[in-house]
Structures are given as C-alpha cells and as structure tokens.
Structure 1
Amino acid sequence: MIADPLPRFEATLGGAFEASGVGLHTGRITRLRASPAPEGHGVRFFRAGKRGVAEVPALWPNRRSRPLCTALQVGDGPLVRTVEHLLAALSALAIDNARIDLDGEELPILDGSAAPWCERILAVGRVEQAAPRRYLKVRKRVAHAEKAHRLRIDPAERFELEVAITLSHFGQLKWTGRPTPDVFPRELAPSRSFGRLKWALPAKILGFFRRFGEPVLRGASSENVVALYGAGAVGGLRMPDEPVRHRALDLVGDLALAGHPLLGRVFASRPGHDPNYGLLSALMRDPDATELVVVGDDGALRRG
C-alpha cells in the first residue's frame, strides 16, 4: 500500500516572494518576484523588456535547447533561461499555479541548488484551491535514447525516479526515490550544479570572451557551481553523491514542463537537459501513452 496520499486539489503560493542575483550563463543580475495565481493558470513566466511584458508558460512545446540549462520561448519572443531549479522546487512542493515576473533573461542561480527556492516557497506556504488537481498518468512504457543517454518512463501509481550517472574517480552514483514535499527539500534540493574543474574553467573563459555568442557560464563562481577535482570537489561536497542528486533535481524540473504532475517511474542513465526533454517530448507526442486522472473522495484515481 502506498502511504503518501496525492493532493486532491490544485494549489498556489500562500504569498509572494522575491529573489535577485546573477545568472549562471549570462552573468547578469536579474530580479524575480513569484506570486499566487488562479486555478488553471499553471506556472508562467512574465519577462519585462523594452517592448513590454512577454508571457512564457512553462510548457514543453515552449522549451528551447540551450547549453547547460533549460530555456523557454514562445515563437520568436524573448527567452527565459535556466528555469529548471525553480520549476523543480514548485513541482516537488505541489505548487500548480504561480506567476513568475522577472526583469532579465535568466533566473538567478543563487547557490546553484534548489534549496533557496524551497526555502522561499515553504516560507510563504501552499494554499489549496477549489479545482481538482489533474495528474498525467503514464499508461505504457516510453523510452528515449541518444548516444550514451538512456531514459524511460513506466506506469506507476506515484512519481518515482531511479537515476544513475558514472563519473571518473567517483564511479557509478545512483539515487532512487520519490521527490515528495518531504523528500525533495532534504535529499535533492541542496545538491548544486557541478562540473569538472579542468573543463569548467576553460568554458567560463570562452564564454567571457564570446560576448556576442551564446552565453555560457559567465556568472559561474565557487558560490554557485561545484568544481569537481579528482574524487572530490573544491570546497567539498554537501553529500558524497551530490552530483547524481543534482541530475535528479534537474530531471524533476525538466519533466515539470509536462504541465501536470506525472504519475510514472522514470529510469534515467546519464540524464541531461536535452535527453530529459527527449523523453518528455516522446511521452507527450504519443496520444496513447498517458491519460489525465483526478483523485476521488476515496483516494482512488479516476479519469478526469
């Protein structure tokens, strides 16, 4: 028997919160304000610019491939970059509806983890709304592979992850579990973005000099990225398996672009933003792969 009950109703933030800081890739300061939103709103970004305010829903058709992050864009409108950590926190803490206003292209990276976002969300609280919460239940196995990346999602009664990566000097690292409101803030949210020191530094230098190209790691520093060195890290790791936990964190954020909470078990070997989206795209494009369900008064799932 599955102990943790699924929330029956949609929820939004109990109040507004703010954050500001440097973007990991652009190196520019962005100010962000997250506010409650009505039922059925979903998570939407509103980017202020010279031409007014552009609305960018956090949905999989709006996803754009950019180096080392997840980005969103509607048509040829302005880009919103590095959304995955905030989306992961909102998704794991069961926040369905939120308005995110920002004055720049990239969300603040803060300390490189989702912990600061969780702290802000938990501080304002979660408020249930009247609309039934609709879940996207996986009905059949869907798989995606590209090069050495292997991902699949199987039917399950809850959202579960089994994530594995292999790093030189570390060997194989695994994380298995459910990213629930209790588990995510404790086990996944504190894990930070990471990279090998031997390639992270050259990439940052290249990103600095390529001012007019795609921004990469211009805002990276020891305050927001873990630089792996040998079997350890400069400044130390928060957990011995922190890198795989961060890959699981990113996976939660990337799959939140489904637009509804998923019910399925994800197996991911060497996940990354592009492979994660490959799996989500394959799932969403198959009309027989999922169905929308709600939680009845008795706690059972039924079509919704």
Structure 2
Amino acid sequence: VPASWSLRERQPLCTALRSPEGPLIRTVEHLLAALSAEGVDEALVEIDAEELPIFDGSAVPWCRAIRAAGRIENGAPRRTIRVLRTVQVEDGRRTLRIEPHDGLHVSAHLALAHFGPLDWSGTITPDVFLSEIAPARSFGRYWRAMLGRAYGFVTRKPFLQGCGVRSAAMIVRGRILGGMRVADEPVRHRVLDLVGDLALAGHPIRGRLIAAHTGHELNHALVARLMAEPDAWELV
C-alpha cells in the first residue's frame, strides 16, 4: 500500500491506508514518523497482518531499528515541499496551521482534564525527534482502550491488539499509570502523530506548524487542504 494521503481511510484512533486493490493497513503513523524524522525517503515494509506492531506505544523501537539497519543512498536528489503561504484547518477549538519556515518546526498545545495545559515547541531533527518526541507513548483512558480491543474481538478485526498498560500511557482516575515517561508526554505524542501523518504528503515538508488540540483527523485535513492548494507550496 503506497504511503499516500490519497489512500488514507478513516479508522478510529489511528492512521490507516487502503490500497485500490483492497488491503487495509492500520496504525502506520509511528513508523512513518520515524522514517520521516530519520530522513528515509523510500522503504519497503513487509507485514503479515492488518495492523503494525505498537511495541511500547512510542516510536523509539522503529527509530532504533532504522538506525541499526542503516540507509542506502539512491543517488536521486531529495525534494521537499516548501510552504509558501499559510494554510489552516480547524474544528471548534481544534486548530492546525502551517506557514512558511526553513525546516520543520512544530509548536503544539494540548489541555487535558487533570493535567492542565501541555506545550511543546521545537525543530524536528533526527536527534531531537529521537530524544524528545519518539519516547512519548500513545495515551488514553484505560476503559476506552479495552473497549477498542473488545470491538476488535467482536468484529474479528485486528484492532488495538497490542494495546495495554505496557504499550501505552494509560489514564486511570486522572493519572497516568506509572507516571509520564517524558515531561508533557501527551502533547509530545500528538507531535509524533503529526510528523507521521505529514509524511503522507509524499515529501518532507518545510514549514512551521502551530497546533492546538490536533489529532489524526485534523492532521489529515491539513495535508489534504495543502495538496488541494498548489499555489501554497512548491516542490524544491
């Protein structure tokens, strides 16, 4: 299944792709984020299930595997999408915009009950991603995760198969079981997902992103809006 925004299929709690021939692949965002942050433009990923492994809920295992495997230069020039003007999408209090900038810079805000305002801002580089973003785990309320697994069992679909207290930051009674792995972990994971979803544009993006309460739906809406407005960017 090509990793393209045009093949994205709406699925709960993840990013999923469906090829024109029919196969569906779920939970691709952590791998795509790691590949993008590590500067990998082309990769062939072979799996034997509909859902990629969640591991510990972070992108660290993917980053380490990519670095261990190494990369091969293909000799082709690396082309990037340079943003020329501001593009914005919103849904109530959720907003996401991208504006011209040299490099990929993200400023993200998230407010959660019991946690208060959470913020992260920085330029995405391989080392920054590995140390500050990749360790942040998927998060959510425990009962909702278990409900998702039950849905997969009833429908006989591989949905959230690896989800559990060892593979996500589970929120129970207003706190994360075991504590946060990194400061402001939930908002950092939203940045992780955003980097992965942006990878579906097909080329690295150069721009400044300002995100408030963003999630997969808004991330994909921004990519689709950007692709639909060719005067807002150029391929360089």
Normalised to the residue count of structure 1, the TM-score between the two structures is 0.74
Please tell me whether the aligned partners of residues 173 and 244 of structure 1 are also in contact (alpha carbons under 8 angstroms): yes
Q: Does 1:129 align with 2:74?
A: yes
Structure 2 unaligned regions, length at least 5: none
SS of equivalent to 1:109: coil
Q: Distance in 2 between matches of 1:193 and 1:112?
A: 5
CA drift at 1:222: 1.2
Q: Distance in 2 between matches of 1:159 and 1:89?
A: 14
- Alignment counterpart, residue 155 of structure 2, candidates 184, 200, 211: 211
Residue matched to 2:225: 282
CA drift at 1:162: 0.7
Residue matched to 1:241: 184
Matching of residues 185-264 of structure 1 within 5 Å: 185-208=130-153, 210-212=154-156, 216-264=159-207
Higher relative contact order (Cα pairs below 8 Å, separated by 6+ residues): 2
Which AA in structure 1 matches 2:30? H
CA drift at 1:225: 1.5
Please tell me whether the aligned partners of residues 105 and 122 of structure 2 are also in contact (alpha carbons under 8 angstroms): yes
SS of equivalent to 1:99: coil
Residue matched to 2:210: 267
Q: Distance in 2 between matches of 1:124 and 1:207?
A: 33
Higher Cα Rg, which structure: 1
Please tell me whether the aligned partners of residues 73 and 79 of structure 1 are also in contact (alpha carbons under 8 angstroms): yes
Residue matched to 1:155: 100
CA drift at 1:221: 1.1
SS of equivalent to 2:223: helix
Q: How many residues align?
A: 236
Q: Percent identity?
A: 51
Q: Distance in 2 between matches of 1:216 and 1:165?
A: 26
Q: Distance in 1 between matches of 2:86 and 2:20?
A: 31
Q: Distance in 1 between matches of 2:151 and 2:69?
A: 40
Please tell me whether the aligned partners of residues 51 and 159 of structure 2 are also in contact (alpha carbons under 8 angstroms): no
SS of equivalent to 1:288: helix
SS of equivalent to 1:106: coil
SS of equivalent to 1:128: coil
SS of equivalent to 1:280: helix
Q: Does 1:175 align with 2:120?
A: yes
**Distance verdict in 2 for CA 1:103–1:233, change over 3 Å:** same
CA drift at 1:200: 3.1
Residue matched to 1:9: none
Residue matched to 2:39: 94
Q: Which structure: greater helix fraction? A: 2
CA drift at 1:154: 0.3
**Distance verdict in 2 for CA 1:216–1:124, change over 3 Å:** closer
Q: Distance in 2 between matches of 1:148 and 1:82?
A: 25
Structure 1 unaligned regions, length at least 5: 1-55, 294-304
